[in-house]
Structure 1
């Protein structure tokens, strides 16, 4: 047997990664029945109970305690169940499969492209409302294009790249707990007036956990035409964006494809003033397709790179 094949067969972590990606696209999990969706709903119910009309500091403390109440027991259960299963490899495969959201991103993008191409604003608004915290009922075609591009870029980094990164670091438990933390941040996002400062702890933890994969993915996005100029523009724009990870991603993709991103957004009836980043072209159906192609190309490179690193580590260990 070829030595490379022997190495692959002996490396269960690599087989789990490839197997999860394959099964993820062949056997999709319905969104309404997905554990992450149920987790999101439970987080909203908990926030309604403990995020009361308290002082600023008390809301922040309540948010930190609620975050611990959600994440710590979940992490303990995930670790405990791993020691009880017959084959830990299948357990890691199941957790990674549940953590990945690449197919959902692809379906969202396809729906948005069709809706924007025909100027079907109700459909586009409905699609974005299911995965976005901002109000979409009054978004124009221009606003829908921007919101769609932003959702696609950030979602790809969080639901695919960061999930695979944490799988490589901490196995299936690491990948799934990261996805739960990311979903908790979306449920309690401080950008929503009702969740500020309740969701600050959740947002800060997510920023810390996604920092390394976001930096690495940003470096993958840079190669091409004028990488030095894109880097300089992105560095200046990301510095004034509210959050580290999304700021770098949106600025890099926006400048690379000359897309106009950012700008004001409405959350729970209140207007949030955000700076404009990227280029000058308003995203349309064509630009969403270009964005998806760019992100998918770089994601495949990430998968190959992570697989190669895993193989090299196996050789070093041996």
Structure 2
């Protein structure tokens, strides 16, 4: 941990709050073209081809950024700082998802259920026309907890560990897993299996650190209880850890069956306490921000300790 790491994180977070990134133009569009190119050239439905495509698509850019960063750190620290800020700006940010959550919160507060459903559907890329207000609130909270982890806490963790290459590794691994690992089974077959596994590996430790952060800044006892007793019930373990801890920290019940027609999946109960409602959306905002502040304080402490130790 060095001062460049801390300054980069603070500057990137500050810029992103006042100048949100046009994600579709600068991130989603180029990455979609990149994954489509690799998939078109290498996908024959075999596992080993998925491994090769993932290595080219993820590790080649990550290694290139790491070499560039280490060179800049050695010859020109200001260049290393600028590179770090740029990579963080492209790979993380609350504003990449917070507008959905804020608008859904406002729509539910105003009693505009249809608008809240429409916003949630746009956010999740999944129909929600049958959802009631409680279900909309519940799923919005789940999305906020997962998104805050995937777009803020986890990239920051890997950035603190490996520099800009770490943040890029997480973002690319997440995108490739979503694009290939969570895609059409008939189209991707075993080709997408490695990308799904890779994301589970890369996300294992950050998910538990984020869950611990939720517990520290929320209801600690209930968060740990839900984490210990409920996380295994969720279909995807890392997400289960995050949602169980977040639900316990908030004192709200998440999961539970919802009416989404044929898209409905296995949704066991997570958390304790009351049904989700519009007030819990406000509580979720507080939990997300307190967890971010805790993470920044830890970065400051680690930077100070590194500086004193040197």
* The two structures share one fold, judged by TM-score above 0.5: yes
Asked if residue 28 in structure 1 is aligned to residue 15 in structure 2, the reply is: no
Q: CA deviation at 1:38?
A: 3.1
In the TM superposition, residue 151 of structure 1 has moved relative to its aligned partner by: 0.8
Preserved CA contact (<8 Å) 1:134 1:265: no
Q: Of 157, 162, 176, which aligns to 1:165? A: 157
For structure 1, which segment, 40-49 or 257-266, has the greater mean C-alpha deviation from structure 2 after superposition?
40-49
Contact 1:92-1:171 at 8 Å conserved across structures = yes
Query: Per-residue displacement from partner, 1:258-306 (whole Å, max 9, x unpaired)?
Result: 3221234789944322322123533222211111111211210111111
Matches within 5 A, 1:193-208: 198-208=191-201
Q: Of 231, 239, 249, which aligns to 1:246?
A: 239
Q: Normalising by structure 1, what TM-score?
A: 0.82
Structure 1 pair 196/173, CA: closer, same or farther in 2 (3 Å)?
same
> Given that residues 99 and 176 in structure 1 are in contact (C-alpha distance below 8 angstroms), is that contact kept between their aligned partners in structure 2?
yes
SS at match of 1:239: helix
Q: CA distance change for structure 1 residues 143 and 192 in 2, over 3 Å: closer, same or farther?
A: farther
Any unmatched runs of 5+ in structure 2? none
1:68 matches 2:44: no
What is aligned with 2:138?
146
Given that 1:145 and 1:284 are in contact with CA atoms closer than 8 Å, whether structure 2 keeps it comes out as: yes
Equivalent pairs counted in the alignment come to 303
Kindly state the Cα deviation for residue 148 of structure 1 after the two structures are TM-superposed: 0.9
In structure 1, runs of 5+ residues without a counterpart are 1-9
Return the alpha-carbon distance in structure 2 between the equivalents of residues 62 and 135 of structure 1.
33
1:192–1:267 contact (8 Å) kept in structure 2? no
- Equivalence map 1:238-317=2 (5 Å): 238-264=231-257, 269-316=262-309
Q: Is the 8 A contact 2:121 2:127 kept in 1?
A: yes
Contact persistence 1:92–1:172 (CA under 8 A): yes
The one of 7, 24, 39 aligned to 1:15: 7
Distance in 2 (alpha carbons) for counterparts of 1:196 and 1:122: 37
Residues 235 and 266 of structure 2 are in contact (CA less than 8 Å); yes or no, is this contact kept in structure 1?
no
User: Structure 1: how far apart are the matches of 2:159 and 2:302?
Assistant: 13
Corresponding position of 2:84:
92
Moved more, 149-158 or 124-133: 124-133
Root-mean-square deviation (CA, aligned residues, Å) is 3.1
The corresponding residue for 1:227 is 220
| Structure 1 CA distance for aligned equivalents of residues 8 and 219 of structure 2 | 37
Q: Report the Cα distance in structure 1 between the residues aligned to 2:291 and 2:164, rounded to whole angstroms.
A: 23
- Shift in alpha-carbon separation, 1:226–1:16, aligned structure 2, 3 A: closer
Tell me by how many angstroms 1:64 deviates.
3.3
The worse-fitting range, judged by mean Cα deviation, of 181-190 and 96-105 is 181-190
Contact 2:138 2:254 in 1 (8 A): yes
> If the length of structure 2 is used for normalisation, what is the TM-score?
0.84
Q: Distance in 1 between matches of 2:256 and 2:52?
A: 33
Q: Which one of 88, 100, 106 corresponds to residue 114 of structure 1?
A: 106
Q: 1:201-248, CA deviations, whole angstroms, 9 ceiling, x for partnerless residues?
A: 222222222222222222222247863344223211002222222111
Q: What is residue 210 of structure 2 aligned with on the other side?
A: 217
Distance 2:90 2:56 in 1: 21
Secondary structure of 2:20's aligned partner: coil
Q: In structure 2, do the counterparts of structure 1 residues 258 and 11 end up closer, same or farther at CA, with 3 Å as the change threshold? A: closer
CA distance 1:43–1:269, change in 2 (3 Å): farther
Using the TM superposition, give the Cα deviation of residue 189 of structure 1 relative to its aligned residue in structure 2, in angstroms. Answer: 4.4
